[in-house]
Structure 1
Amino acid sequence: MEDLIQLTNKLQTVVSSISTHETLDLPQIVVVGSQSSGKSSVLETIVQRDFLPRGSGIVTRRPLVLQLITSRRSDATEYGEFLHTQDKKFFDFAEIRREIEGETSRLAGDNKGISRMPIHLRIYSPRVLTLTLVDLPGLTKVPIGDQPNDIEKQIRGLLMDYITKPNSIILAVTPANMDLVNSDSLKLARQVDPEGKRTIGVLTKLDLMDAGTNALDILTGRSYPLKLGFIGIVNRSQQDILTNKPMADALKAENDFFRQHPSYRAIATRCGTQYLAKQLNQILFSHIKDKLPELRTKLSSLVSQTQHELAQYGDPVLTTGTMHRGSLILRLLTKFANDFVAAIDGTSSEMSTKELCGGARIYYIFNNVFGNALIAIPPCANLTNSDIRTAIRNSTGPRPSLFVPEIAFDLLVKPQIKLLETPSLRCVELVYEELMKICHNSGDKELMRYPKLQAKLVEVVAELLRERLGPTSTYVESLIAIERAYINTNHPDFMGAAGAMSSLESESRKKKKHDSSGNTKRRLHRQPSMNSVSSAVRANGAFMIDDDNKSTTTTIDGISSPPRENGQGQHDSFLNYFFGGAGKAERPALNGSPDMPNGLSNHHHHQQQYAPPMSVTTLMETEIEKKMEQVTLQNGNGEETTYPVSDREEIETQLIRTLITNYFNIVRKNIQDLVPKSIMHLLVNHSRESVQNRLVTSLYKRELFDELLQEDEVMAMERSKCKQLLDVYKQAFDIVNTVV
């Protein structure tokens, strides 16, 4: 029994040498009680020596770990040892009291404050049973004198730290001359041990109870059941302490009290300080025995964890010798580069599960941030009907317009394409920022040992990324400039004039049908009827289109046009006259689809042979309603001038707007595809492929080894502490393994 308790004492001493009681929950008995409950007297009676500080207010202001060890020889000298004084022996117990007071003031100060750092005291005596107790500050409610205002909260928190540990036995001290329901120690114990499995109650001051009353129901477990029961004791009175009454006399008086008391005489053998010491010794032994397998497993796990942690700090031996230092730097460079690449590729083993990062974040930027930014741009942003009409009029010069001018379309669509530049460049910046974040997060704990090397690694990679940022941004700008340089209206996805007219005509039919059903009100700005244009053409001439690409004859005003020499049919319609006066080769912009050649050039080609057709102007004047609306425009001097707006201009405006929207969507789709590809090629892939070579070229130089491998002092201390911790755990594990 004594060997097992001493084994735990050794563990406690070993573990306490580096303040790791937080990680290793050792079996121990924790003494809890309110101020003036007789807690200190209980401990002194168990030791049979006066050695604890006394006085008013809080006397115990630091946890006292008291290890009692039985000396085998009855004539052995009693003495005490403190952990903080190394091997110094204290034979005078008054000196032990002064040392406790001095050590308390050293850390807790002189203002009645408390400290969580324990004092370790070991007492060797033939008159004690081997036992380990932890004496804690007494519970208080009202600050006295210089005590902090939150002293109650501080003490309660300290006590909870100890009693919440499952391996702690709670020794709850309560004076018998107060109501048990008001016992602070029992209330606190019940919070962490509601079933009372690891709480033992101690009733002090039984001799001070009111005459005619007793605590028999409590001591026999009838009124307040605890698995470990209650034990009653009689402390020395204040007069006994002042007159230095011998401990032997005090123990005899206590035994006589229980044997002679009419209520307690039947249970006298189960009362008193000597019985309490035996019970605590037996309880602690059984508790240690039960917890030993669990303790062995815990220590084994701690040894393994600490070994792994120590490995993260690296071996200090490698920092000596040129070859060792060179291989270490090369390994750290490679590890840093691999971590950087792995974060981009998404193969890192330490990837965050809380937020997107690395390659996944870049993907999110491409598809969500950049994609949504492009979609949010309206194709005709800041482009009013007035702007479009003004552009059409300005592009015709002094002559009236026979056809919708291509120059107006070019002038209007280019600024719209320019709107795509800002989000594209922002996309480059966001990816660059993410790569910089990856760079700063790369590396492990071993690299943190060498702050200068880590700083240099980050600096070199950051410089590489900055080098690539400029060319990438320039290239993305050029993508927008390329799109603006040539407005390709022959693009297979561009609807052209025919498609735009067809779209407007279809929309007009739907609106007419909707209006005729009576479900809509008359529109404020009238949409010119496309059907009127089409019917006008059909009234003055006919056109036929051969879908099989065969020879076709088109008749306008009864004049037939022969097929082309290459056998391709001539497809004429009113659209050809309305949108262009030359062949596709001469005027491609605003032309229809490639398989609908312009017919007006054919007309000019044969105008000497055939009568001229009816002019577009005449068609517009005779067939389209001439209702006008007034629109306010700005002239060159900033003065407002009103111009009449014809139905023809309304049609032209709508056509241009439809074509701009269609072409803008084509360009936007191209940019949404090309910008991420460009960034990946010029910035991301280039960086990930060249990062290791750049690091080795810049940093693998012998003249830099000494500077780069200057170890961080804090990290060196952490490694030393970790190594010390590992030694302690190994030593503790060896101690536990000595028990079969």
Structure 2
Amino acid sequence: MENVVELINRVQDVFSTVGGNESLDLPQIITVGAQSSGKSSVLENIVQRDFLPRGSGIVTRRPLVLQLITLRSETDGPDYAEFLHVPQKKFYDFNDVRREIEDDTARIAGHNKGIARKPIHLKIYSKKVLNLTLVDLPGLTKLPIGDQPADIEKQIRQLILDYISKPNSIILAITPANSDLANSDSLKLARMMDPAGKRTIGVVTKLDLMDAGTNALDVLTGRAFPLKLGFVGLVNRSQQDILTNKPMIEALKAEEQFFQRHPAYQSIVNRSGTAYLTKQLNIILVNHIREKLPDLRSKLSSMIGQTQHELAQYGDPAFTGKVHSGSLILKLLTMFSTEFVASIDGTSSQISTKELSGGARIYYIFNNIFGHALDSISPCGNLTNEDIRTAIRNSTGPRCSLFVPELAFDLLVRPQIKLLEAPSLKCVNLAYEELYKICHTCGNKELLRFPKLHARLIEVVSNLLRERLMPTSVYVESLISTQCAYINTNHPDFPGASGAMAELEKKSKGGLKKKQNRTLNQGASGNPNQKHKENGVHTGSIYADSPPKDSFLNYFFGGAPKADRTSKDFQEKNPFGQLSQPNDIEGLDSPFTQHSISSESTIDPTPSSRSHQEDLEVELIRSLITSYFNIVRKSIQDLVPKAIMHFLVNFTRESVQNRLVAALYCEELFGELLQEDSSISAERERCKTMLEVYKRAFSIVNDAM
């Protein structure tokens, strides 16, 4: 546990070699500050070397991962630096270090002052440093300058947020003392990612540049802006010091003297300056690493397991010989067919939680889409009364209709049944399309490594589905044709003519009663003559409420009603059709005759009777068509899904593996089918590399614990 910083540096080096360090949240210190905040000077003061690029505008254009390693004794030699991208080379001249940073930045980020996310890894070995790992990020800016990208502010802000949002990072928020602390961009970002201030340490630079009579004591003591790790005040080297190459040791001595002599800072002199900041950062980082090591080991263990599982899905590339190729082909064929069947049955391990798929989608087609399509068809929606009346008249030819013509019912109901064919065939096509989708979504990574084999598997199953589509559609068409071939009026659920007429009689009597009641209510407030006439109506209503048992059927099937002659004689005596006394007419047993009397009709009774009969015939035919159509619709809604399941779904799922073996298990095809995709090979190698990295990192962490 003594060298935990070096431990994390080793883990970081392991990940950096493969570019996968972002997948693991390593404990490290992230420096955040605006341009000209003194951020570079802080890092150089800590290292006690001039090694960072300087200039106007954005100087730091790539993240710089800076690892500081303490040289233990004089025998280790002079201070030197190493870059990860320049292996086996030591930089003893720190001016060369600066030039290498500039050159590698331009190589990756270009020369237009844009930024790049790929970090530069720099190690500095020195007797003057404590073990630390710091990440220097580009300085926050407001406006693009020169040829900088227009969204440079957004790019830098997002880059900083990506680093400081990681829970294991320590935020080093740098703010110059000669600016408004309340508007500090670095502190705003720190508070955004660390609201409680538990992993943020504040640095106030350029204290010597504050206006006379002012100081930052309230900030440095935590009264103005509380942080758990506190604030540290620094005095940067002036621009003149940098230009004259003032020795770093003299600059640090001048900083120490500033705090000792300043009246406001004498009380916190032991908690100020670069030396104190360096010690604090070392202590904070070491404690933080110790706290996070158990979680780090668990995370690495989990990543090893996940990577091993991923690698297993890419399969073993060491397949040679026809025997091994044949067994591999059989394995993959079985895997594909098993997944296809499992998707239909709903037993697949890859069941989606976002949307319906597979067999559940087919069920939805049967019960929702198909059911709603059938329910939306109106049994007589496309038939007008005139259409029905014309069909009735055409079916009687030159003769007068004495009975409801059955031929008209047959003639009209068949086209209505035919309306069920289109949604039924659409249901077949939807189920076929769903099976086609299932076919295309089958296949894991091990199978996808052989693109030609996967394509042939889909082709074979697609052909099988197309073969089954035609017989399924033909059978569904035959279901509709069968229903049209024989209109079974003896169906137990079909009411027949008598049942339909009884229902119509019930409705007619109910409507007549309501009309008579309205007439009586009107007569109650009229003159005596009106009341006298209403008495006749009332008397007639008694007959209407008590007709002979078969009066309705006799009227409908017996031609002219019994009251025709009496009604005609009465009309000859009383051409205005008004009843003087209710007893003038006897033997009225037809509700329609009573209806004409109660309505005081002056129309000739014979045409009137014929018109009523035609209207009733139309209503009767419409009622019969609706009843029979509903019976057929119910049957079709039950039979079509069964037919699709039998002829298409079940047949395919039961024969898919045999079809695949018959079509693809051929030695002549093994070489072609088992050609591996180059991208899969690359992914396998990447996966192997990452697995080795995770294992090495786990070993490092585990040994330290």
Q: TM-score, normalised by structure 2?
A: 0.87
| 2:556 and 2:613 in contact (8 A); partners too | no
Q: Which amino acid aligns with 1:418?
A: K
| Cross-structure match for 1:665 | 630
Residue correspondence of structure 1 range 150-189 to structure 2 within 5 A:
150-189=151-190
Q: Secondary structure at the match of 2:74?
A: coil
Distance verdict in 2 for CA 1:224–1:491, change over 3 Å: closer
Q: Which amino acid aligns with 2:279?
A: K
| Cross-structure match for 1:5 | 5
Distance verdict in 2 for CA 1:404–1:208, change over 3 Å: closer
| Cross-structure match for 2:201 | 200
Residue correspondence of structure 1 range 200-219 to structure 2 within 5 A:
200-219=201-220
The answer to whether structure 1 residue 733 and structure 2 residue 684 are counterparts is no
The answer to whether structure 1 residue 485 and structure 2 residue 463 are counterparts is no
Aligned-pair distance for 1:254? Answer: 2.5
Q: Which amino acid aligns with 1:649?
A: E
| 1:63 and 1:134 in contact (8 A); partners too | yes
Q: Secondary structure at the match of 2:318?
A: helix
The answer to whether structure 1 residue 283 and structure 2 residue 284 are counterparts is yes
Q: Which amino acid aligns with 1:306?
A: T
Residue correspondence of structure 1 range 402-421 to structure 2 within 5 A:
402-421=402-421
| Cross-structure match for 2:369 | 369
Aligned-pair distance for 1:173? Answer: 1.6
Distance verdict in 2 for CA 1:474–1:78, change over 3 Å: same
Q: Secondary structure at the match of 1:491?
A: coil
| Cross-structure match for 1:24 | 24
| Cross-structure match for 1:446 | 446
| 2:428 and 2:472 in contact (8 A); partners too | yes
Aligned-pair distance for 1:27? Answer: 0.7
Cα deviation digits, residues 410-454 of structure 1 (max 9, x gap): 111111111111111111111111111111122222222122211
Distance verdict in 2 for CA 1:115–1:620, change over 3 Å: farther
Q: Which amino acid aligns with 1:128?
A: V
| Cross-structure match for 1:568 | none
Q: Which amino acid aligns with 1:472?
A: T
| 1:196 and 1:227 in contact (8 A); partners too | yes
| 1:629 and 1:645 in contact (8 A); partners too | no
| 2:58 and 2:138 in contact (8 A); partners too | yes
Aligned-pair distance for 1:123? Answer: 1.0
Flag structure 1 segments of 5+ consecutive residues without an equivalent.
523-528, 540-572, 580-614, 631-641
Cα deviation digits, residues 175-215 of structure 1 (max 9, x gap): 22333223222222222223322222222222222333333
- Residues of 2 paired with 1:538 and 1:224: CA distance? 101
Distance verdict in 2 for CA 1:414–1:217, change over 3 Å: closer
Aligned-pair distance for 1:99? Answer: 1.0
The answer to whether structure 1 residue 697 and structure 2 residue 662 are counterparts is yes
- Residues of 2 paired with 1:517 and 1:99: CA distance? 107
| Cross-structure match for 1:382 | 382
Aligned-pair distance for 1:102? Answer: 1.1
Q: Which amino acid aligns with 2:270?
A: T
Residue correspondence of structure 1 range 591-610 to structure 2 within 5 A:
none
Q: Alignment identity in percent?
A: 67
The answer to whether structure 1 residue 73 and structure 2 residue 73 are counterparts is yes
Q: Secondary structure at the match of 2:494?
A: coil
- Residues of 1 paired with 2:442 and 2:564: CA distance? 74
Distance verdict in 2 for CA 1:149–1:291, change over 3 Å: same
Cα deviation digits, residues 328-348 of structure 1 (max 9, x gap): 221111111111111111222
Residue correspondence of structure 1 range 51-450 to structure 2 within 5 A:
51-74=51-74, 76-318=77-319, 320-450=320-450
| Cross-structure match for 1:545 | none
| 1:269 and 1:275 in contact (8 A); partners too | yes
- Residues of 2 paired with 1:538 and 1:721: CA distance? 92
The partner residue of 1:721 within 666, 686, 689 is 686
| Cross-structure match for 2:501 | 501
- Residues of 1 paired with 2:519 and 2:261: CA distance? 109
| Cross-structure match for 1:679 | 644
| 2:460 and 2:659 in contact (8 A); partners too | yes
| 2:476 and 2:643 in contact (8 A); partners too | yes
- Residues of 1 paired with 2:485 and 2:266: CA distance? 112
Distance verdict in 2 for CA 1:183–1:574, change over 3 Å: closer
- Residues of 1 paired with 2:331 and 2:201: CA distance? 59
- Residues of 1 paired with 2:109 and 2:252: CA distance? 34
| 2:313 and 2:445 in contact (8 A); partners too | yes
- Residues of 1 paired with 2:685 and 2:186: CA distance? 41
Aligned-pair distance for 1:403? Answer: 2.5
Aligned residue-pair number: 652
| 1:216 and 1:264 in contact (8 A); partners too | yes
Q: Secondary structure at the match of 1:350?
A: coil
Q: Secondary structure at the match of 1:132?
A: strand
Q: Secondary structure at the match of 1:146?
A: coil
| Cross-structure match for 1:638 | none
Q: Secondary structure at the match of 2:356?
A: coil
> Mean Cα displacement is larger for which, 131-140 or 345-354?
345-354
Q: TM-score, normalised by structure 1?
A: 0.83
- Residues of 1 paired with 2:242 and 2:550: CA distance? 128
Cα deviation digits, residues 463-515 of structure 1 (max 9, x gap): 11111111111111111111111112222222222212212112212222232
Aligned-pair distance for 1:644? Answer: 10
Q: Which amino acid aligns with 2:244?
A: T
- Residues of 1 paired with 2:275 and 2:372: CA distance? 81
- Residues of 2 paired with 1:196 and 1:448: CA distance? 48
Distance verdict in 2 for CA 1:645–1:103, change over 3 Å: farther
- Residues of 2 paired with 1:197 and 1:664: CA distance? 75
The alignment yields a C-alpha RMSD, in angstroms, of: 2.7
Aligned-pair distance for 1:289? Answer: 1.0
Flag structure 2 segments of 5+ consecutive residues without an equivalent.
523-540, 566-589
- Residues of 2 paired with 1:13 and 1:619: CA distance? 112
Aligned-pair distance for 1:536? Answer: 7.8
More helix by share: 2
Aligned-pair distance for 1:239? Answer: 1.4
Q: Secondary structure at the match of 1:22?
A: helix
| Cross-structure match for 1:551 | none
- Residues of 2 paired with 1:662 and 1:147: CA distance? 78
| Cross-structure match for 1:548 | none
- Residues of 1 paired with 2:344 and 2:562: CA distance? 65
| Cross-structure match for 1:608 | none
Aligned-pair distance for 1:262? Answer: 3.8
Q: Secondary structure at the match of 1:121?
A: strand
| Cross-structure match for 1:561 | none
- Residues of 1 paired with 2:233 and 2:187: CA distance? 15
